[in-house]
Structure 1
Amino acid sequence: MKEGRKLAGRKFGVVGGAGSLASADVLFKLIKSLSETDDAEHADVIFEQHPFEKSGAKAEASTERMLYVFDMIRDFEQRGVTTVLLPCFISHTFIDELKANSPLQIVDMVEAIRSHVQSHFPNARRIGVLASAYTQQKALFEKYFTSPRFEIVYPRLREEVDLVAEAVYGHGGVQSGNSSGRPVELLRVACEDLIAQGVDIIIPGLTEIALVADSMDPLTVPLLDSNLIYAQYAASGRYALSEARFKVGVVGGVGPAATVDFIDKVVRNTSATRDQDHIKLLVEQNPQIPDRTENLIGDGPDPTLSLYATCKKLEVGNADIIAIPCNTAHAFVDRIQPYLRIPIVNMLTVTARHLRERFPSMHSVGVLATSGTVESGVYEKALMEQGLEQIVPSPALQARVMDAIYGKEGVKAGFTTGQCQLDIAAAIEELISRGVEVVILGCTELPLLLPQTEFVGASGASGYLVDPTDVLARHCVAYATAQGEPLHV
């Protein structure tokens, strides 16, 4: 099987504009390289460029260049591109930032050259590079040729003139379309300087040089065609897919305070010593999702479509899993999960599993939740699967639980002390009086009223409180940091 078969399903996007003529050269060589593979018919190519205003020797990795390239890659993503070619060495000085902020595979041009040198010139030690002053300053090639055996060598200045920059960017230079005369002579002088320094091979570190390499007289050391090497490397498919950072998508706004509480618990449960160690979160805060309880026990509008639309936005945003910090919303999860490509972490399921692992001999569990959650039976089902019986408050106390959540002085109205706390405490005491030792705070707002893990009532009765929001947060953190190990969701 030829390596070209690895291209099945790939769609290449070539970012032009940062060097128009050189970009077109890479495009031509990519298409030619793809045509030589058995699987070429399965690989599509898109080339797009917009004139990039900042050109010339001073066109460093400016904000304009970075954003231009990033916007082009984002546009490619929306058009189904899977693999991006970036034929511009200056842009490769910030390739790590591009990779960190895009799910697409960005083929590394300098890595392609390094791989080619190692395989075709195993005895090469001194590597001559014709590069811009900026890529020299950023030590772009030194970052790749890190072995002690390699030494990167650049042409020396001649009377304070940068021969390479003058040949490419100067008046009548290669970038302006001139492929003969003075630019070629300047580049030859630069190559001869490298040869005098004892280099084994010469690498063009500007993509424009490949446009005139054939016009130069033969040199005593190989002058590589970096554009062709890049195109062949991309066509081969012989490069590892970049590993995007794991991203947790959060359906927010159900309710808003519970969302903030969940995010806080994700942060607190993440082992990190700096900002960059934390988990990526994508939050779609949508408080306009219809009330779940009103639909389940009344005639309120169905929230299914709004929940699904919110999940799809997270999916499109490249989330790997979805967390919904709302217990009642899980009554609708089975309806929408079959239509999503990424899993929803079921807060009720992971909570029930957590209880079974933590309290292996327990038989019954108290559940404080909205009447919608209770009547939907979602917690009862999750607990039964773990051999646990659900115990809920009596109708009178359940009414007080609902008032603590939805009442004028309830937690959804912004209250966390006063009558709402008294109502919840009364419900817990009743459950404890019925022999319950563990109570699930099965509405994501309830932990805002009772942040502690142990409850001690006015009568002295005590019980253990389980916060599903915290369980969900811990599970998402474990999932995100498992490095590919399978976890139940």
Structure 2
Amino acid sequence: MSLPVRRERSFGIIGGLSPIADADLLSKLIEATERHVDAGQFEIVFEQRPFARSHGPSAADTARMLYIFNRIDSFKARGIGTVVLPCFLSHTFMEELKENSPLPIADMIEVLRGHVRSLSPQRRRIGVLTSAPLRESALFERYFGPEEFELLYARPRDGLDLVTEAVYGKNGIKSGSRSGYSIELLREACADLIGQGAQLLLPGVTELALVTNELAQGAVPLLDPHRVYAQHLVADPAAEVERPFKLGVVGGVGPAATVDFLDKVVRNTPARRDQDHLRLLVEQNPQIPDRTEHLVGDGMDPTLALYATCKKLQAGEADLIAIPCNTAHAFVEAIQSELDIPIMNMLTVTVKHIREMFPTLSKVGLLATSGTISSGVYRRALEDHGLQEVIPSPPLQGRVMNAIYGPQGVKAGFTSAESVADVDAAIDELATQGVEVIVLGCTELPLLMSEPERVTARGNRVTLVDPTDILAKRCVSAAMMWSRR
């Protein structure tokens, strides 16, 4: 297996969109690396695959966008550091590419704008040699704003668009011609731009980088976009991608509780539109062995399945993992040490919340699976905050388990009156022991007990704490902190 290349000194060139021009950029990038002080320290991967719809000056389309994204995905798998995209037409959807790319893309037109800015301040009237579709897309206006630059375009001659014909015509540059009629048309376009007062000529079609020497017009400089791009790449590789926060969710433990957690994440997110909500990556894996069966019986150990699920979320570039299952947290400590991203511990954030909300509290009731109780995870978390755990008696614990696992229980898809009565009986028993705050320590229980305040059959008032809701709020808070970094 080959090792990944050094990310900070590696370039992936997306080829195939204009094969001849792509090769020109590759040549100039190699030349730039050889002249750099770190010559020999650069890795360059040039990936060119057939792109059937790359011919003709048609508007950028979905096929082109998906082709580029697939090449970026391939580069990511190979450990590439910076994506190089020598295609003006593809820059019409550069915003969408940057938003979704897992790797930084060196924006060619942004580089050209920076280069133009570095030239003499008087050179602000830019003559752009580009095709009709790119001119109509207002691509260059997006980069070279009117507050800084005045853009000029070559005028048609007898209805003929000079640059478009020179590049894409029957005997144009794209078909292999670099002399004769196509060069005459481009020289005519350059002369027209200079006549309009252009102080600098900027090729705005990728193929024009092949003929910059033939088009030089003396006093008015004409940029070689590929040479400028290559020299910038070597001197200043693209910065790391600023990507939105992504929450990874271990789902399926159990399935209904996962849906409940996702609903709470959405409801607790301060959003005015779809785009304000969190990115979520959910690995819904109901085949993870039952946690309680392992903790109190002879069921299969779920550690590896939980770990494998977390690794998938990590591979999917999640920044934080949430596991909306209380019992699963008996295995979190062993898993966390092997992961590169944190798991938001539902139990510890719940106990911290209780201590903050009830500073004088001394004991807390716990309704949970027998596996959670036997593991002692809540007991230890409560003791760390000076709180005593109070659990139901064995008969009432049996009724709680029935409400969760019974034939008419929540895991079977029921929220029946029998299940509610079973949990109510356990709440009543805990309240008679002076418990005023009870943790719903199984993610299925909030599906039965949706109200935070409850009055028992004996008239005692208790507060029910929902760890799922607290976990959701803490995950949203983590996302908000990420966005303010």
TM over 0.5: yes
CA distance in 2, matches of 1:42, 1:292: 50
**In structure 2, what is the equivalent of residue 153 of structure 1?**
152
**In structure 2, what is the equivalent of residue 133 of structure 1?**
132
Matches within 5 A, 1:398-477: 398-477=397-476
Counterpart of 1:188, as a letter, is R
Matches within 5 A, 1:322-471: 322-471=321-470
Return closer, same or farther for 1:8/1:421 CA change in 2, 3 Å cut-off: closer
Q: Which moved more, 1:212-221 or 1:68-77?
A: 212-221
- Quote the sequence identity (%): 58
**In structure 1, what is the equivalent of residue 106 of structure 2?**
107
Deviation sequence 1:38-86 (CA, Å, 0-9, x none): 3344432111111211133333211111111111111111122221011
CA distance in 1, matches of 2:71, 2:54: 17
Instruction: Measure how far apart 1:348 and its partner are.
Output: 0.8
CA distance in 2, matches of 1:287, 1:180: 66
Instruction: Measure how far apart 1:469 and its partner are.
Output: 0.7
Deviation sequence 1:377-407 (CA, Å, 0-9, x none): 1111222222222111111111111111111
CA distance in 1, matches of 2:276, 2:428: 42
CA distance in 1, matches of 2:191, 2:421: 87
CA distance in 2, matches of 1:431, 1:147: 72
**In structure 2, what is the equivalent of residue 4 of structure 1?**
none
Give 5+ residue unaligned stretches, structure 1: 1-6
**In structure 2, what is the equivalent of residue 200 of structure 1?**
199
**In structure 1, what is the equivalent of residue 59 of structure 2?**
60
Return closer, same or farther for 1:355/1:44 CA change in 2, 3 Å cut-off: same
Normalising by structure 2, report the TM-score. Answer: 0.96
Instruction: Measure how far apart 1:191 and its partner are.
Output: 1.1
CA distance in 2, matches of 1:120, 1:217: 17
Counterpart of 1:418, as a letter, is A
Matched length: 480
Deviation sequence 1:241-275 (CA, Å, 0-9, x none): 33111110111111111111111111101111111
> What's the secondary structure of 2:135's corresponding residue?
helix
Return closer, same or farther for 1:39/1:401 CA change in 2, 3 Å cut-off: farther
8 Å Cα contact 2:127/2:198 also seen in 1:
yes
Matches within 5 A, 1:281-296: 281-296=280-295
Deviation sequence 1:2-26 (CA, Å, 0-9, x none): xxxxx87433111001111111111
Deviation sequence 1:434-459 (CA, Å, 0-9, x none): 11111111111111111111111222
> What's the secondary structure of 1:184's corresponding residue?
helix
> What's the secondary structure of 1:481's corresponding residue?
helix
Return closer, same or farther for 1:485/1:169 CA change in 2, 3 Å cut-off: closer
**In structure 1, what is the equivalent of residue 3 of structure 2?**
none
Q: Which moved more, 1:384-393 or 1:413-422?
A: 384-393
CA distance in 2, matches of 1:147, 1:350: 52
8 Å Cα contact 2:126/2:151 also seen in 1:
yes
Instruction: Measure how far apart 1:170 and its partner are.
Output: 1.0
> What's the secondary structure of 1:153's corresponding residue?
strand
CA distance in 2, matches of 1:40, 1:410: 68
Instruction: Measure how far apart 1:147 and its partner are.
Output: 5.2
8 Å Cα contact 1:57/1:132 also seen in 2:
no
Q: Which moved more, 1:119-128 or 1:477-486?
A: 477-486
8 Å Cα contact 2:7/2:79 also seen in 1:
no
**In structure 2, what is the equivalent of residue 280 of structure 1?**
279
**In structure 2, what is the equivalent of residue 216 of structure 1?**
215
CA distance in 2, matches of 1:135, 1:344: 47
Instruction: Measure how far apart 1:240 and its partner are.
Output: 3.7
**In structure 2, what is the equivalent of residue 142 of structure 1?**
141
CA distance in 2, matches of 1:479, 1:39: 40
Instruction: Measure how far apart 1:278 and its partner are.
Output: 0.7
Instruction: Measure how far apart 1:238 and its partner are.
Output: 5.5
> What's the secondary structure of 2:179's corresponding residue?
coil
Matches within 5 A, 1:81-120: 81-120=80-119
1:77 aligns with 2:76: yes
> What's the secondary structure of 1:482's corresponding residue?
helix
Q: Which moved more, 1:31-40 or 1:433-442?
A: 31-40
Matches within 5 A, 1:14-25: 14-25=13-24
8 Å Cα contact 2:28/2:226 also seen in 1:
yes
Return closer, same or farther for 1:8/1:56 CA change in 2, 3 Å cut-off: closer
CA distance in 2, matches of 1:424, 1:138: 64
Deviation sequence 1:86-140 (CA, Å, 0-9, x none): 1111111111111222221111111101111111233322111112222222211
8 Å Cα contact 2:57/2:168 also seen in 1:
no
Instruction: Measure how far apart 1:225 and its partner are.
Output: 0.8
Instruction: Measure how far apart 1:166 and its partner are.
Output: 0.9
Instruction: Measure how far apart 1:309 and its partner are.
Output: 1.0
CA distance in 1, matches of 2:455, 2:353: 22
CA distance in 2, matches of 1:385, 1:363: 12
Instruction: Measure how far apart 1:208 and its partner are.
Output: 0.8
Instruction: Measure how far apart 1:485 and its partner are.
Output: 6.3
RMSD: 1.6
Instruction: Measure how far apart 1:408 and its partner are.
Output: 0.4
CA distance in 2, matches of 1:187, 1:460: 90
CA distance in 1, matches of 2:42, 2:454: 62
Return closer, same or farther for 1:374/1:42 CA change in 2, 3 Å cut-off: farther
Counterpart of 1:467, as a letter, is D
Normalising by structure 1, report the TM-score. Answer: 0.95
Counterpart of 2:245, as a letter, is F
Q: Which moved more, 1:53-62 or 1:413-422?
A: 53-62
CA distance in 2, matches of 1:204, 1:384: 70
Q: Which moved more, 1:294-303 or 1:24-33?
A: 24-33
Q: Which moved more, 1:118-127 or 1:306-315?
A: 118-127
Return closer, same or farther for 1:299/1:144 CA change in 2, 3 Å cut-off: same
CA distance in 1, matches of 2:460, 2:39: 73
1:242 aligns with 2:222: no
Give 5+ residue unaligned stretches, structure 2: 1-5
Counterpart of 2:71, as a letter, is M
**In structure 1, what is the equivalent of residue 182 of structure 2?**
183
**In structure 2, what is the equivalent of residue 230 of structure 1?**
229
8 Å Cα contact 1:8/1:39 also seen in 2:
no
Counterpart of 1:15, as a letter, is I
Counterpart of 1:384, as a letter, is E
> What's the secondary structure of 2:58's corresponding residue?
coil
Instruction: Measure how far apart 1:197 and its partner are.
Output: 1.2
Deviation sequence 1:410-452 (CA, Å, 0-9, x none): 0000111311111111111111111111111111111111111
CA distance in 2, matches of 1:239, 1:461: 63
> What's the secondary structure of 1:15's corresponding residue?
strand
Counterpart of 2:193, as a letter, is L
Counterpart of 2:16, as a letter, is G
